[in-house]
Amino acid sequence: MALANKDYKKYLNPSIISKLNSLELKARLVVEGFMVGLHKSPYHGFSVEFTEHRPYMQGDSLKDIDWKVYGKTEKFFIKQYEEETNLKSYILLDASKSMTYASEGNISKLEYASTLVASLSYLMIKQQDAVGLTLYSDKVDKYFPPRASRAYLQELLKSLAEISASNKTNTAACLNSIAEKIKRRGLVIIVSDFFDDVNSILNALKHFRYQKNEVIVFQIVDPLERSFAFGNDAIFKDMESEDEITTQPYQIQKAYKEAMEQFIIKIKNECLNSNIEYNLIETSVPFDKALFSYIQKRRKLF
């Protein structure tokens, strides 16, 4: 059943979509909400067409005709298969413990990222593109090469739903490892908070560009990780090492915010200088921002 126009915005809202139990349902509703939103401001006039069939052409095998479509339209259409995909995409998702952080009123970075990755995968396969998935922490935990079948989507969604965050992280090493696995150029999408050694990460991101891949970066952060607007006294705990420190946040808020912004700016500028598309996404932001960034990138590739 099509999503009603009046409902589309709520299914792009992370706090609402998180209440659903099924990751597949989350992905479907996010994508449907996104598609409805494309026809409204600020995306008026921008459209995306999903192609699961193409018109019959002389020489096509009759066994590939979709007779159900013919029964409805009295026109001949050919089913499209994996070898006819337009694009190979490789999605890399950071599943380290720092991604499990969530401030009050927001979902965790990992839940946001997992829903985003599920939605991107759903969208890509609907477009007859091939999508692969890598889950990593301090090592590559799971690697799925790009494929375009709907059955494969179920396998990807199952792995996303079963993510178990690791205490350790080594983003740069994992990115370099995946870069070596990619034998056919495509679109590489990295989803992470990038809370690791920034210079090593940037070199690893450039590794994908050296191999002529197109690259999109989604840096996922919690709003409080930028504002540092905590209360008077607080205990801060490292999500990975579990080290703790007690402090008064307001005393260090200015210095922290400056350091955080410098960190973000450095990643952003280095990405842009290397022709890597960079997106900073807070976990309170509707999912359409990230999906639209992907659609724009894909549009430029064809």
Determine the pLDDT at residue 82: 43
Domain ranges of the chain: 86-301
CATH number of the 86-301 domain: 3.40.50.410
d(C-alpha 46, C-alpha 171), whole Å = 35
Query: What is the per-residue pLDDT across 29-58, written as a single tens digit (0 to 9) for each?
Result: 999 999 888 766 444 444 455 445 667 777
Pair of tokens at residue 264: 């973000």
Determine the pLDDT at residue 235: 56
d(C-alpha 78, C-alpha 52), whole Å = 9
Instruction: Point out the residues of the chain with pLDDT beneath 50.
Output: 1, 41-47, 50-51, 82-84
Determine the pLDDT at residue 131: 96
Determine the pLDDT at residue 190: 98
CB atoms within 10 A of CB 44: 9
CA 202 to chain centre: 19
Determine the pLDDT at residue 275: 95
Say whether 8 sits in a helix, a strand or coil.
Answer: coil
Determine the pLDDT at residue 201: 96
Query: What is the per-residue pLDDT across 192-203, written as a single tens digit (0 to 9) for each?
Result: 999 999 999 999
CB atoms within 10 A of CB 147: 17
Determine the pLDDT at residue 220: 98
Say whether 213 sits in a helix, a strand or coil.
Answer: coil
CB atoms within 10 A of CB 199: 11
d(C-alpha 46, C-alpha 42), whole Å = 9
* Amino acid at position 21, single letter: N
